[in-house]
Amino acid sequence: MKNLYWLFFLACVSCQQSKDSKTATYSYDVEAKIDSLGISLKTPGTPVANYVHAVRTGNLIFLAGKGPKDADGNNIVGRLGEDMSIEAGYQAARRIGISQLAVLKAELGDLNKVKRIVKVLGMVKCTDDFTQQSQVINGYSDLMVEVFGEQGTHARAAVGMNALPGGICAEIEMIVEVE
């Protein structure tokens, strides 16, 4: 009987330790990390069409596609392979990432609740012969890894498009697992 008691006790301790380790996803404060990168998250504006910024079902949040805006809030437009460089596209994709982080913050209240960036779909407006969409969307993916570390790595598609809304050079949507 004494041995059964100890086995039960050890199982309970082990289970609690396992629960504790799952609640601490990061060894740092995600929002402090964003601040250290010089990123300021603005409150997302109202969607411009018949959609919402994010839909949560269970522990997943599906973020609507966002396009890049400059510091004045204007769309960043252009066509990769024509009038826009890969570096400019990379920076535009990074700006989309910042917008998506703002949406997540508004949805969750605390970005430390993000368990994992699951999937990213990146769409790049480009010429028919442009084949470096992945290098453009890396601007977004690199930011997610900078902010969330290993939990920021994700499955991804980076595809070319003939046109995107408002002439934007890229649009990116994302699926996130949360606590």
pTM over 0.85: yes
Question: How confident is the prediction for the chain on average, in pLDDT?
Answer: 90
**pLDDT class of 128 with cuts at 50, 70, 90:** very high
Taking CB atoms within 8 Å and a gap of at least 24, the contacts of 161-168 are 161/123, 161/124, 161/125, 161/126, 162/125, 163/125, 164/67, 164/123, 164/125, 165/67, 166/67, 166/75, 166/77, 167/75, 167/77, 167/78, 167/125, 168/67, 168/68, 168/75, 168/76, 168/77, 168/125
**pLDDT class of 69 with cuts at 50, 70, 90:** very high
pLDDT digits (tens, 9 = 90+) for 101-123: 999 999 999 999 999 999 999 99
What percentage of the chain carries pLDDT values higher than 90? Answer: 85
What percentage of the chain carries pLDDT values higher than 70? Answer: 87
**pLDDT class of 48 with cuts at 50, 70, 90:** confident
Where do the domains of the chain lie, and which CATH numbers do they carry?
28-178 (3.30.1330.40)
Q: What is the pLDDT of residue 1?
A: 52
> Is the model's pLDDT at 7 over the cut of 70?
no
Q: What is the pLDDT of residue 10?
A: 45
Q: What is the pLDDT of residue 119?
A: 98
Report which of residues 104 and 7 the model is more confident about.
Answer: 104
pLDDT digits (tens, 9 = 90+) for 153-165: 999 999 999 999 9
63: part of which helix (H) or strand (E)? Answer: strand 60-66
- β 60-66/155-161 pair status: unpaired
Mean pLDDT to the nearest integer, 39-63: 96
> Is the model's pLDDT at 134 over the cut of 70?
yes
